[in-house]
A and B are shown apart, each in its own frame.
Chain A
Amino acid sequence: MGMLVYLTRRLISLFLSLVVASMVIFLVVEVAPGDPASYMLGINAQPDTIAALRTELGLDQPKLQRYFSWVTGMMTGDFGTSYTYRAPVAQMIADRMWISLPLALMALTLSALIAFPAGLLAASKRGKAGDVSVMAATQLGVAIPNFWFAMLLVLLFAIKLRWVSAGGFAGWDNPMAAIKSLTLPAIALALPQAAILTRVLRSALIDTLSEDFMRTARAKGLTRGQTLWRHGLRNALIPVLTILGLQFSFLLAGAIIIEQVFYLPGLGRLIFQSITQRDLIVVESVVMLLVFAVIVVNFLTDLAYALVDPRLRSRA
């Protein structure tokens, strides 16, 4: 029952966030200076040509109507047509999504795979050599910019060892090749994230070490390691889940620089190009999609909280 109430409340808040976000995005893009039609046609365009294009793009309709047609369009999968490319936005996004989503998931998985063992090790060997070296490594991971690290990876694995190509995307027709071309970017994205996650997990675990229930567990006969693993980890998960959720949202669109380094046609590059070309319908749609992704990820994070901590289920 508690879980059901919790879920309903989260769903309502998810829906409201989406509505508010769509309005804000629409308004911001609308009030941005510059008319897409005149921008597309260049400085020398005739006023009547511009007017004709405005009609064609639907820019002459009332704002409210345009908002509703934009929103209802998105719900049916019709994201409109790109001003510059004259191609359906949905198709453009879908193409990019097939690169950005797997890349984000790979990076996130990698980051978690590194962070969990490293964080547990550091917390259990607190103050000893293992902890100190893990902390030093994460310090480096946080400090080194990922594009520079990406270039080092390219130098070593692509140019020196020739294991993978230096950039570009092989396409999903050959899944092995596709994964191969995403591997270096995923590593470059994952390492700084793993460093942050390790530090968060370590400090959350160390916080649980001083809890009374950890002492109770030791009194039952659990070793230090068992106590940390069975009782500490789950109690330390809430801050870790928060960071994981934030990282996923960032990885989905925040990979612009890495996409640039590896010549990957991902969402980050799409949004960058559409902004410079004043392709408003693409900007609106991609931003809305990202907001949607962030809100859904937040919703999933909230669900994960409730699964981890029973107190959240009853405190509806």
Chain B
Amino acid sequence: MSLLRIQDLSLTIHGKHILKGISLDIATGEVVALTGESGSGKSMTAFATMGLLAQGAEASGQIHLLDKDLLSLSEGQMCEIRGRDIGMVFQEPMTALNPVQCIGDQVMETILIHGAGSKAEARARARDVLTRVGLPPDQFPLSRFPHELSGGQRQRVVIAMAIALRPRLLIADEPTTALDVTTQAQILSLLLSLAKSDDMALMMITHDLAVVSQMADRIAVMQHGEIVEEGATDELFSEMRHPYTQALFQASRHQANLPAPVSAAPLLQVQDLKRSYPLPRPHPFAKRPRFEAVKGVSFEIAKGERVGLVGESGCGKSTLTRAILGLDPIQSGHITLDGTPIATAGPDTKRKIQVVFQDPYGSFNPRHRVDRLVSEPFHLLPDAPQGPARQEAIAQALVAVGLAPSEQTKFIHEFSGGQRQRIAIARALITRPELIIFDEAVSALDVRVRAQILDLMADLSREYGLSYLFITHDLTVVRSITDRVLVMQQGEIVETGPTKQVLDDPQHIYTQTLVGAAPTLPDIGDPHAANAAV
């Protein structure tokens, strides 16, 4: 008998159909992955199971946990089940914990709220469970606050809260999406080992097929609120009956068709760059200590070359980017673009370098129309085109990224995530730059959209001879779109070389760790492999 049996689950939110007759079984000890793109209804399935739907949501059908139909239970009865029979782990560990409560209290709360012991027992149990998730109290006392922990450690605390009462079912909603690859690998193996040792069923929600393929016993692929294909992991990957599954798989290992680099003349030169930040004073009269974020980095990007910069959070990638853009003062070293030092460069040089950020929504002013957003970099230029010439430039930039010129009168909220990122690229293109920096520019996108954007980038590079600097934690993207890669660790570049060579045969121990930790898709033939460029 299944532990969780979802039958014909439908969900509407304010009359809009979100889930359309989902049926899914999860047995005790089984790991089932729900995968699909954003908006496919994966998370909503989880929230319906938890009974934590937003107001205005109406669920129909049945969700049986053993013999209880969760949808028919009262709110009070669901409160007893949540945390005791079903635990849940969330995507964003940085915000999933109460910032003003110490971790011990937060883990103890799960135990106390269900009356599963006295305060002293709960404390002892919290110690045990934190030890189980890899936070032994002698190193991580219960009195720690969330802000004193890293993202991975916080996620461990969230897991500890979810498994404190040994629930039968654990739901993990994109538990590693916000984490670095090495941390991701640790958290995934922790989840798996906990599920095994407690004989717990695990419902794993993720958009990442590579993660899915390594973890799950069974996979359900969701699209538009329906499960389009479901089966044991091996079978599903070898058969891939549904076209959507095939498309997802193809897009996940998409390889953009890059033109050969045009010349070897250096465009961007970074020499022995150092950048440090002041830290808080240890006591009010002490000298401020400084944190060295970038410790003497040197590299070059040639004209038309696509370079990747990989490394984990805190390695100094973003600091380096800000320095290259001339946004922060540097402590020592030189950055030159086309021979001109960036720090003292005028608009004419700065025009040649543009940037595209990760969050396609957050990087636009929501109250400006697209034409104004796209033409914003014109303020750099002393001789910016006006009137019809300006309109022409805006239209050209929009067409270049595959949008219609008529879209320029819309606001940014009227576009999808992929379209927004196209607009961000249009904004970067409008000054006819030579170097574009992509700061995690495709990380927030669904795989199929990501594949399109990567193709667009390759086309633009071919057409305009653009150079790219790709800053990302995602090795798949680096492999897909770069010629050369720089690996950064703790403010230093530890390895550099042609992308394929570095990723296939890493020399530095850190690169080896990164490559080893990155989840990979199963290496299987493609049923429709005619034009796959792998």
Chain A residues close to B by CB (< 8 Å): 1, 4-5, 8-9, 12, 211-213, 215-223, 226, 230-231, 234-235, 308-311, 314-316
Contact = CB atoms under 8 A, between A and B. Distances in A.
Given A213-B96, A215-B52, A216-B96, A226 B113 contact: yes
Contacts of B88: 216, 219
A220 B83 contact: yes
Interface in B276-315: 280-284
Contact of A222 (B95, B101, B113, B145): B113
B210 interface: no
B162 A310 contact: no
Q: How large is the interface on B (under 10, 10 to 19, 20 to 34, 35 or more residues)?
A: 35 or more
A222 B83 CA distance: 9
Given A213-B99, A219-B162, 5 more contacts: A5-B284, A215-B90, A217-B98, A221-B113, A311-B100
Contact of B82 (A9, A211, A221, A314): A221
Contact of A219 (B50, B98, B114, B283): B50
B281 A316 contact: yes
A219 B52 contact: yes
Contacts of A215: 52, 90, 96
B99 A309 contact: yes
Given A220-B83, A221-B110, A221-B113, A315 B280 contact: yes
Interface string B84-117: 1001101010011111111000000110011000
Nearest to B113: A221
A310 B284 contact: no
Interface in B145-177: 145, 147-148, 158, 161-162
Nearest to B83: A221
Contacts of A218: 52, 82
B527 interface: no
Interface string B17-59: 0000000000000000000000000000000001010000000
B235 interface: no
Contacts of A315: 280
Contacts of A1: 282
B114 A221 contact: yes
A48 to B, nearest CB: 55
A220 B100 CA distance: 17
Given A212-B90, A220-B82, A221-B110, A309 B76 contact: no
B79 interface: yes
B198 interface: no
B81 interface: yes
A105 to B, nearest CB: 27
Of all A-B residue pairs in the complex, the 7 with the closest CB atoms, nearest first, are A221-B83, A220-B83, A212-B95, A219-B88, A221-B82, A310-B145, A213-B98
B75 interface: yes
Nearest to A237: B100
A309 B158 CA distance: 20
B69 interface: no
A234 B102 CA distance: 13
Contacts of A219: 50, 52, 82-83, 87-88, 90, 162
A266 B75 CA distance: 54
A4 B113 CA distance: 34
Contacts of B82: 218-221
Given A235-B100, A311-B145, A12 B113 contact: no
Contacts of B162: 219
Nearest to A232: B98
Interface of B: 50, 52, 75-76, 79-84, 87-88, 90, 92, 95-102, 109-110, 113-114, 145, 147-148, 158, 161-162, 280-284
Contacts of A5: 280-284
Contacts of B76: 223
A157 B397 CA distance: 74
Most chain A CB within 10 A, of B50, B100, B161, is at: B100
A8 B82 CA distance: 45
A309 B79 contact: no
B161 A216 contact: yes
A308 B281 CA distance: 22
A223 B75 contact: yes
A220 B110 contact: yes
A221 B158 contact: no
A220 B113 contact: yes
Given A12-B284, A310-B147, A212 B110 contact: no
9 contacts: A5-B283, A5-B284, A213-B99, A218-B82, A221-B80, A222-B109, A222-B113, A230-B109, A231-B101
A217 B96 CA distance: 9
B220 to A, nearest CB: 22
A229 B87 CA distance: 22
Nearest to B102: A310
Contacts of A309: 99-100
A5 B80 CA distance: 44
A230 B110 CA distance: 13
A217 B52 CA distance: 11
Contacts of B284: 5, 8-9, 12
A220 to B, nearest CB: 4
Contacts of B109: 217, 220, 222, 230
Contact of B147 (A8, A9, A314): A314
A211 B146 CA distance: 15
Most chain B CB within 10 A, of A213, A230, A314, is at: A213
Contact of B100 (A226, A310, A316): A310
A309 B282 CA distance: 19
Contacts of B282: 1, 5
A173 to B, nearest CB: 46
A213 to B, nearest CB: 4
Nearest to B284: A8
A215 B53 CA distance: 10
